[in-house]
Amino acid sequence: MKKKALSLALCAAMAASLFVGCGGKEGAATGGESVDTSGELTWRVGGIGPITGGAAQYGQGVMNAIQLAVDEVNEAGGINGYKVSFNFQDDEADQQKSVNAYNTLKDWGMQILEGTVTSGAGQAVSAETYADRMFMLTPSASSTDVTNGHDNVFQVCFSDPNQGAVSADYIADNGLATKVGIIYDSSDPYSSGVYQTFAAEAQAKGLEIVATEAFTADSKTDFTTQLQKCKDAEADLLFLPFYYTEGSIVLTQANQMGYTPTMFGVDGFDGLLGVENFDVKLAEGVYLLTPFAADADDDATKSFVSKYESQFGGTPNQFAADAYDGVYILKAALEAANLTPEASSEEICEALISEIQNVTYDGLTGEGMTWNEKGEVSKAPKAVIIKDGAYASVD
């Protein structure tokens, strides 16, 4: 009888713990929340990005930068007199996880989403936000599939087609090369998006593409095969539209092979100089596109970089800069719309869609940014070259 009672009690406890778990989840704060809201009316801004897994460094940069901006905004009196609370959820750069993260944020009471960090997750989440009428401003999901057909989604970064075309124009107009080799990550929408527009524009500009080599997320540690093929095809410029971690490996391996073409990266190469155990001398003469340089001289950048370094350690990259700008863009649009957090997320969404198109914003990643109804930002990618271990403008 004793055993029976014990087992029943244990069963009951198990069942109860399940329900307690559910109940706690719905109402109370989650771990990602940063500002103590304790009943006070605040703007509820959510963020989604990978803070674990392979793409964690981008998500963490975005999370830290939004936190920094939100703290600044709150210190200066908030938006329209109300403070901002911020909640960031992990998505491991996976679509399903990203939708789960979005639903978690909705339960938290999110009114505006500043996310997602990666394009693949962004495509899945933008369909959800579109159906729910939730305003979405993505700092770094640059694929056009994120904004296509979704009037509520806007980008802080420039879109992929933009980058590919600018790169091809720049190479052709400045006569950097005649034979171009391309290595790209075919499993990444960002990388293949840039590659596609680059190839199309290169053809129009009369650049000869002698080698096109792809790799995937599963095989991004060894590029000797791809480099050898480009070398055999006698490419004198390598176009490398992917992120800087792989970029550092490509540069190191090309150096070991004694292959020295001009290297041309896009905005993903921003951060190259901060890679650990990477000989920055190899990056000399590398071209890249970036809207943001961490060692720029203007006061806004200086203050952002020093605050970021002291609070989180490490140098912020352009993802972080885009995310930081995102908060102030939202602030500007919300102030223009003259809204209060009492408005529902649908009302905020409709108001912001029209207001953000009237906003002109000067930030870390560009001057006079404006947005069109497609959700794209009007800032031009700028080419820089790495000289003496620092970015130098080439114009």
* Strand residues in the chain grouped as ranges (E): 43-49, 84-90, 112-115, 135-138, 153-155, 179-185, 208-215, 237-240, 262-265, 287-289, 361-363, 366-369, 383-387, 390-393
C-alpha–C-alpha distance, residues 103 and 128, integer Å: 9
Q: State the maximum Cα–Cα separation within the chain, in Å, rounded to a whole number.
A: 90
Q: Which of 199, 207, 263, 351 binds other proteins (CB under 8 A)?
A: 199
Binding test (CB under 8 A) with other proteins, winner from 46, 120, 139, 247: 120
Let me know: does 250 contact 230? Beta carbons within 8 Å. no
**Contact flag: residue 37 with other proteins (CB under 8 A):** no
Cα–Cα distance measured from residue 367 to residue 344, given in angstroms and rounded to the nearest whole number: 31
281 belongs to the binding site for other proteins (CB under 8 A): no
SS3 268: helix
| Closer residue to other proteins (CB): 92 or 246 | 92
Of the pair 111, 290, the CB lying nearest other proteins is at: 111
Q: Which long-range contacts (CB under 8 A, 24 or more apart) does 68-75 make?
A: 68/304, 68/307, 68/308, 68/311, 68/312, 68/324, 69/323, 69/324, 69/326, 69/327, 69/328, 70/34, 70/35, 70/45, 70/327, 73/327, 73/328, 73/331, 74/35
Which stretch, 3-11, 261-269, 347-355, 386-394, contacts other proteins (CB under 8 A)?
3-11
30 binds other proteins (CB under 8 A): yes
Q: Residues 215-234 vs other proteins: string with x where CB under 8 A?
A: -xxx----------------
Using the minimum distance from each CB to other proteins, give the nearer residue, 102 or 170: 102
Say how far apart CA 48 and CA 113 lie, in whole Å.
8
Q: How far is the CB of 12 from other proteins (least distance, A)?
A: 11
The residue (of 198 and 244) whose beta carbon lies closer to other proteins is: 198
x/- contact string, 133-172, with other proteins (CB under 8 A)? ----------x-x---------------------------
* One of 11, 20, 41, 390 touching other proteins (CB under 8 A): 11
Q: Under the criterion CB under 8 A, does residue 276 sit at the interface with other proteins?
A: no
Residues contacting residue 58 through CB under 8 Å, at least 6 positions apart: 49, 50, 117, 118, 140, 243, 317, 319
Q: Could you tell me the smallest distance in angstroms from the CB atom of residue 25 to other proteins?
A: 6
Q: Is 188 in the site for other proteins (CB under 8 A)?
A: yes
Kindly state the smallest distance separating residue 31's Cβ from other proteins, in Å. 4
Considering only 71, 178, 179, 200, the residue that binds other proteins (CB under 8 A) is 200
Q: Cα(first)–Cα(last) distance of the chain, in Å?
A: 86
Amino acid making up residue 157? C
- Using rule CB under 8 A, residue 52 touches other proteins: yes
Please tell me the count of residues contacting other proteins according to CB under 8 A: 53
Tell me the window of 182-190, 224-232, 233-241, 298-306 that interacts with other proteins (CB under 8 A): 182-190
Q: How far is the CB of 238 from other proteins (least distance, A)?
A: 18
- Of residues 70-89, those binding other proteins (CB under 8 A): 89
Query: 299-312 and 318-337 helices cross at what angle (nearest 10)?
Result: 110
* Alpha-carbon gap, residue 358 to 351, rounded angstroms: 11
**In the bound complex, what is the minimum distance in angstroms from residue 161's beta carbon to other proteins?**
12
Residue 10 contacts other proteins per CB under 8 A: yes
Closest CA to 272 of 246, 295, 291, 297: 246
- The answer to whether the beta carbons of residues 140 and 62 sit under 8 Å apart is yes
User: Looking only at residues 86 through 105 of this chain, which bind other proteins when binding is defined by CB under 8 A?
Assistant: 89-90, 92, 94-96, 99-104
Nearest CA-CA partner of 378 in 308, 334, 329, 345: 329
Contact residues toward other proteins (CB under 8 A) are 3-4, 6-8, 10-11, 21-22, 24-26, 30-32, 51-52, 89-90, 92, 94-96, 99-104, 106-107, 120, 123-124, 126-128, 143, 145, 186-189, 192, 195-196, 199-200, 212, 214, 216-218
